[in-house]
């Protein structure tokens, strides 16, 4: 069964994403559902300090299960955080994706692209919606929490 190597690969890549010094990033976890394929997913992300203005690098790894498939998504996304004086702040972003898809022990790698919009509470809770292009899941909705704050 190819599921175990895929999970190991995803975990190894997730650890590489968070290997930069802790002072320059945040760490978060997420769960949600996707459409086409219809799956539940869970994942981890890290986020850099601002690269330019309020633009941050926000790579993430997600594992989706369901619809007779397993999808490991490695997303190299950038997020722009809009200024806010309230407890909730809006962000939007986009980036390329590598999707490793396993259907009936037939594994293939596919390229994709995601566009996202989300809102994040100052205490760490966030909600996010993604629209995928190319071979990324068509639509994702998720909720998550940022464990390490700046």
Angle at the Cα of 136 (from 100 to 148), degrees rounded to 5?
80
Angle at the Cα of 65 (from 59 to 45), degrees rounded to 5?
15
Q: Where are the domains of the chain?
A: 3-145
> In this predicted structure, what is the pLDDT of residue 67?
87
CB 102 within 8 A of CB 3: yes
Q: Which fold has domain 3-145?
A: Porin (2.40.160)
> In this predicted structure, what is the pLDDT of residue 23?
46
Report the distance separating Cα 83 and Cα 120, nearest Å: 12
> In this predicted structure, what is the pLDDT of residue 19?
54
- Please tell me what DSSP assigns to residue 93: E
pTM: 0.79
Give the tens place of pLDDT for each residue, 53-111.
999 999 999 999 998 899 999 999 999 999 999 999 999 999 999 999 999 888 999 99
CB 59 within 8 A of CB 75: yes
């Amino acid at each position: 069964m190819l599921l175990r190597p895929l999970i190991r690969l995803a975990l190894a890549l997730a650890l590489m994403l968070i290997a930069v010094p802790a002072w320059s990033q945040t760490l978060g976890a997420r769960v949600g559902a996707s459409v086409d394929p219809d799956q539940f997913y869970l994942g981890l992300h890290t986020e850099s300090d601002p690269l330019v203005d309020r633009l941050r690098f926000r790579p993430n790894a997600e594992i989706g299960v369901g619809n007779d498939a397993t999808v490991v998504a490695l997303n190299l996304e950038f997020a722009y955080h809009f200024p806010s004086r309230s407890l909730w702040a809006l962000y939007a972003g986009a980036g390329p994706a590598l999707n490793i898809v396993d259907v009936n022990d037939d594994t293939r790698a596919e390229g994709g692209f995601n566009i996202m919009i989300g809102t994040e509470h100052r205490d760490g809770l966030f909600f996010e919606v993604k629209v995928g292009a190319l071979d990324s899941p068509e639509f994702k909705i998720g909720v998550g929490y940022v464990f390490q704050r700046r």
